[in-house]
């Protein structure tokens, strides 16, 4: 396997798993002293063993990790080979020319390399037949790369896997079709292409619920195993469910068509596993109420809410683009002015949330959306939002709710919280964007919570001299342990960020 792939695997793993845990995995594999060089060839088994260890660490299916890795390296390969990629090329053009401009370069530099054989036939401007053959049989990696390219170019590519080496065929055959864009007057400006978050990966099951919609035919268990109903997700009231886009602990998100207006929307429905959990039902209802009350260009918009067979749902704009986490991983080192712009727009969205008497409680890169092509920022996922007048203490079982790496100390300890808790999370996110380090993340939840309580991170400008001192100071003030020492509100933060932006070259 080419050393370039090992290099990209390390970058991917450090982002998905964490640098220290990845070093532990390398040690377990006996590779902790190995320095992978892009100029060398390595045994295939080394890479496959590392992927298997990473999947085990994440409690994820290895095939899904391989596909997710493929999505990651797609943009990395484009960046590395940007000089030979023609400006007018899109997803199908890149795939059609991959054998020529990437694999040939690999073979010239490393005659011993054995990249897969790719044969592509362009059937029409929007259709391409791809033949993939390799002793490694990494067809899921190929699928991931195709999806990653589609993400990069903001295109919708339908992949039909006609033949597969894993099922005994001598090669894999893919039919790729670029979907035509809808008339912009008939859709919103969004494409809610949720990235696979392998850090929260949950295995699917075809037997999670026997609940059916009002038609008595569409069962929720089928949704969690799309192979049972690959082209038919049924309907939810006037909404025809086209594709499952994401699944979390509380809800399932579908891309859907509003049959009344022909508008593409996102429909979020309470997860079937949670339908009997009254606490989760209340939390889902809280998200609906929270989103309905907020009006801001920087907060996802809710169109409608409803309930079918005791399953509440909300209908939202269907976002085109990706999460901030995916956006950042695609481009890695964002320019300072771009980081500040993202922070300003996030702060404006938070201000609208706080003006409605709410605290988001789970602000993080996965819950911030970067729209395409405008790059407008929107805050999403209000499943943990609370009114500031409600009790926000720990549950009786001692469990906390939120993401520890971006959580305020008062939230982690179960103390009452107010909008300044979101400002702390904003500070964590800003620190991460500037330094590529999560300021309090450790190998365990306990370690992260301990760091939240006791650790003071190194100011960003001391880690990177290009960081403006005033931006570093603001970030550190947002990360103050005591809420009283943080900025007074979002508007103060926005003004200070705007002043800093004016001075950035």
Q: Is the pLDDT of residue 489 over 70?
A: yes
Q: Determine the pLDDT at residue 274.
A: 66
Nearest Cα to Cα of residue 198 among 423, 400, 13: 13
196: in domain = no
State how far the Cα of 54 lies from the Cα of 48, in Å rounded to an integer: 10
Joined together, the tokens standing for residue 448 give: 């992260």
Domain containing residue 472: 323-503
Burial readout 432-469 (b: 16 or more C-beta within 10 A, e: otherwise): bbbbbebbbbbeeeeebbebbeeeebebbbeeeeebbe
Peptide bond into 476 cis (omega under 30): no
pLDDT tens per residue, range 446-461: 788 888 888 899 999 9
Nearest Cα to Cα of residue 361 among 307, 417, 314: 417
- Residues 457 and 481 occupy one common structural domain: yes
- Give the DSSP letter of residue 470: H
Mean pLDDT in residue range 195-214: 32
Domain boundary among 162, 178, 194: 178
State how far the Cα of 115 lies from the Cα of 4, in Å rounded to an integer: 12
Nearest Cα to Cα of residue 251 among 369, 380, 414: 380
Q: Which of the pair, 369 or 223, is modelled with greater confidence? A: 369
State how far the Cα of 385 lies from the Cα of 387, in Å rounded to an integer: 7
Residues 157, 143 contacting (CB under 8 angstroms): no
- Residues 95 and 131 occupy one common structural domain: yes
State how far the Cα of 363 lies from the Cα of 349, in Å rounded to an integer: 11
CA within 13 Å, CB half, 369: 27
Q: Is the pLDDT of residue 223 over 80?
A: no
Mean pLDDT in residue range 98-120: 60
- Residues 334 and 241 occupy one common structural domain: no
State how far the Cα of 382 lies from the Cα of 369, in Å rounded to an integer: 13
Q: Is the pLDDT of residue 210 over 80?
A: no
- Residues 134 and 254 occupy one common structural domain: no
Q: How far, CA to CA in Å, does 11 sit from each of 41, 82, 329, 442?
A: 18, 19, 10, 18
The total domain count for the chain is: 3
Q: Determine the pLDDT at residue 494.
A: 96
- Residues 395 and 457 occupy one common structural domain: yes
Percent of the chain with pLDDT over 90: 20
- Residues 12 and 137 occupy one common structural domain: yes
pLDDT band at residue 390 using 50, 70 and 90 as cut-offs: very low
128 sits in the region (left: phi over 0; alpha: psi -120 to 50; else beta) called beta
Q: Is the pLDDT of residue 22 over 60?
A: yes
- Residues 268 and 221 occupy one common structural domain: yes
Nearest Cα to Cα of residue 254 among 283, 297, 289, 222: 222
Q: Determine the pLDDT at residue 37.
A: 66
Q: Determine the pLDDT at residue 99.
A: 63
Q: Determine the pLDDT at residue 391.
A: 39
Q: Which of the pair, 505 or 72, is modelled with greater confidence? A: 72
138: in domain = yes
State how far the Cα of 421 lies from the Cα of 489, in Å rounded to an integer: 11
- Cα 240–chain centre separation: 25
- Residue-averaged pLDDT of the chain: 76
State how far the Cα of 251 lies from the Cα of 430, in Å rounded to an integer: 28
Joined together, the tokens standing for residue 371 give: 């729209």
Mean pLDDT in residue range 144-149: 86
Q: How far, CA to CA in Å, does 451 sit from each of 262, 438, 447, 454, 455?
A: 50, 11, 6, 5, 5
pLDDT tens per residue, range 423-476: 999 999 999 999 989 998 888 777 888 888 888 999 999 999 889 999 999 999
pTM for the structure as a whole = 0.55
What is the domain-level CATH number for residue 82?
Answer: 3.90.1520.10
Q: DSSP letters along 432-451, please?
A: HHHHSS-TT--SSHHHHHHH
Q: Is the pLDDT of residue 398 over 50?
A: no
- Mean pLDDT lowest for which of 80-94, 134-148, 385-399? 385-399
Q: Which of the pair, 156 or 60, is modelled with greater confidence? A: 156
Q: Is the pLDDT of residue 20 over 60?
A: yes
- Residues 372 and 303 occupy one common structural domain: no
Task: Give the residue numbers marked as catalytic.
Answer: 362
Q: Determine the pLDDT at residue 174.
A: 87
Q: Determine the pLDDT at residue 30.
A: 74
- Residues 308 and 407 occupy one common structural domain: no
Task: Give 212's strand partners.
Answer: 219
State how far the Cα of 432 lies from the Cα of 454, in Å rounded to an integer: 19
Q: DSSP letters along 134-164, please?
A: -TT--HHHHHHHHHHHHHHHT--EEEEEEE-
Q: Which of the pair, 311 or 215, is modelled with greater confidence? A: 311
Q: Is the pLDDT of residue 379 over 90?
A: yes
Nearest Cα to Cα of residue 255 among 158, 373, 363, 143: 158
């Amino acid at each position: 396997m080419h050393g370039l792939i090992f290099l990209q695997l390390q970058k991917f793993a450090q982002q998905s798993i964490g640098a220290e845990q990845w070093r532990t995995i390398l040690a377990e594999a006996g590779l902790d002293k190995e320095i992978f060089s892009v100029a060398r060839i390595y045994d295939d088994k080394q890479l496959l063993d590392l992927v298997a260890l990473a999947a085990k660490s994440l409690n994820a299916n290895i095939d899904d990790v391989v596909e997710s890795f493929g999505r990651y390296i797609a943009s990395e390969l484009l960046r590395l080979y940007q000089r030979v990629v023609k400006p007018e090329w899109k997803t199908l053009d890149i795939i059609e020319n991959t054998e020529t401009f990437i694999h040939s370069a690999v073979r010239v530099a490393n005659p011993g390399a054995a990249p897969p054989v790719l044969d592509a036939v362009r059937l029409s401007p929007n259709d391409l037949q791809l033949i993939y053959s390799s002793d490694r049989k990494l067809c899921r990696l190929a699928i991931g790369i195709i999806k990653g390219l589609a993400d990069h170019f903001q295109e919708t590519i339908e992949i039909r896997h006609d033949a597969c080496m894993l099922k005994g065929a001598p090669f894999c055959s893919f039919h790729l079709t670029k979907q035509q864009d809808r008339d912009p007057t008939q859709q919103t400006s969004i494409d809610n292409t949720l990235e696979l978050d392998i850090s929260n990966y949950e295995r699917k099951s075809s037997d999670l619920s026997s609940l059916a919609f009002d038609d008595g035919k569409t069962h929720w268990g089928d949704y969690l195993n799309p192979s049972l109903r690959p082209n038919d997700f049924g309907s939810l009231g006037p909404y025809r469910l086209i594709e499952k886009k994401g699944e979390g602990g509380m809800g399932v998100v579908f891309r859907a068509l509003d049959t009344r207006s022909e508008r593409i929307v996102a429909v979020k429905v309470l997860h079937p596993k949670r339908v009997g959990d009254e606490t989760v039902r209340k939390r889902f209802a809280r998200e609906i109420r929270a989103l309905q009350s907020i009006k801001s260009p920087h907060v996802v918009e809710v169109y409608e809410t409803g309930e079918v067979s005791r399953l509440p749902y909300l209908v939202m704009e269907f976002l085109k683009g990706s999460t901030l986490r995916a956006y950042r991983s695609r481009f890695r080192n964002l320019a300072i002015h771009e980081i500040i712009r993202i922070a300003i727009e996030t702060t404006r969205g938070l201000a609208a949330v706080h003006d409605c008497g709410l605290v988001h409680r789970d602000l993080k890169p996965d819950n911030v959306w970067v729209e395409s092509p405008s790059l407008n920022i929107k805050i999403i996922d209000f499943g943990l939002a609370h009114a500031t007048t409600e009790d926000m203490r720990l549950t009786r079982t001692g469990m906390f709710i939120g993401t520890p790496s971006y959580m305020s100390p008062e939230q982690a300890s179960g103390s009452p919280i107010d909008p300044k808790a979101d400002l702390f999370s904003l500070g964590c996110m800003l620190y991460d964007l500037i330094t590529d380090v999560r300021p309090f993340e450790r190998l365990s939840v306990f370690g992260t919570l301990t760091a939240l309580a006791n650790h003071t991170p190194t100011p960003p400008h001391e880690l990177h001299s290009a960081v403006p001192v005033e931006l570093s100071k603001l970030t550190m003030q947002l990360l103050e342990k005591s809420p009283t020492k943080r900025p007074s509100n979002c508007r103060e933060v926005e003004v200070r960020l705007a002043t800093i932006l004016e001075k950035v070259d």
